[in-house]
Amino acid sequence: MIFKGIGEAKAIKIEASLELGRRSHESAHKVHDKINDSASVFAIMHPILGHLKHEEFWVLYLNNSNKVLAKMQLSKGGKTGTIVDVHLVLKQALEQSATCLILAHNHPSGSLTPSASDKQITQKLKLAAESLDIKLLDHLIVAEKTYFSFADESVL
């Protein structure tokens, strides 16, 4: 709206168009992508999480061949955090017949340092998933241009 001739209604239309373009780009990534490493997870999740001004928590559900069965947003929070329900993560894993999980969330601040709660939910989900013979392969923190991988940094 800082440009002359663009009022609130036009600004909303432009913002909606940009969102549709982002979603179209996101859907261009096939759901059956194969995960080879943390960089391939980043390639899938960065278009979704990299630009957000609030935290979101997503889970990639994979089969034994590390092919993505589904990617789901589990929670949407504020600028400093979001809540994750372990029950929902595992319920979806069972419904998808997933054998592996990859967690991903963003830090709008740009900080890649995992918080104590990030580490805690990762361990909690890892233990809960193991009880169902589901492997937690990684947890990525996505920032605007880069990421932190719990697996790569041996924090998992």
Both 35 and 25 in one domain: the answer is: no
Q: Worst-scoring range by mean pLDDT, 19-33, 81-95, 99-113?
A: 19-33
Both 106 and 85 in one domain: the answer is: yes
- Mean pLDDT score, 71-99: 91
Could you report the per-residue pLDDT of 24-75, keeping only the tens digit for each? Answer: 666 544 445 789 999 999 999 999 999 999 999 999 999 999 999 999 999 9
Both 84 and 106 in one domain: the answer is: yes
The answer to whether position 12 is within a domain reads yes
CB 57 within 8 A of CB 73: yes
Query: What is the reported pLDDT for 30?
Result: 47
Both 81 and 67 in one domain: the answer is: yes
Both 46 and 109 in one domain: the answer is: yes
Task: Provide φ and ψ at 41, rounded to 5°.
Answer: -65, -45
- Mean pLDDT score, 9-18: 86
The answer to whether position 154 is within a domain reads no
- Mean pLDDT score, 88-92: 95
pTM equals: 0.78
The answer to whether position 156 is within a domain reads no
Distance CA 17, CA 38 (A): 30
Mean of all residue pLDDT scores within the chain: 89
Q: Worst-scoring range by mean pLDDT, 6-15, 61-70, 138-147?
A: 6-15
Q: What is the CATH number of the domain that holds 85?
A: 3.40.140.10
**Residue 125 structural domain:** 31-149
The answer to whether position 18 is within a domain reads yes
Angle between helices 116-130 and 86-96 in degrees, nearest 10 = 40
Both 40 and 72 in one domain: the answer is: yes
Both 5 and 50 in one domain: the answer is: no
Domain count, the chain: 2
Both 88 and 12 in one domain: the answer is: no
Both 15 and 69 in one domain: the answer is: no
The answer to whether position 45 is within a domain reads yes
The answer to whether position 155 is within a domain reads no
| Strand pairing class (147-149; 100-106) | unpaired
Both 12 and 82 in one domain: the answer is: no
Both 16 and 53 in one domain: the answer is: no
Query: Coil, strand, or helix at residue 155?
Result: coil
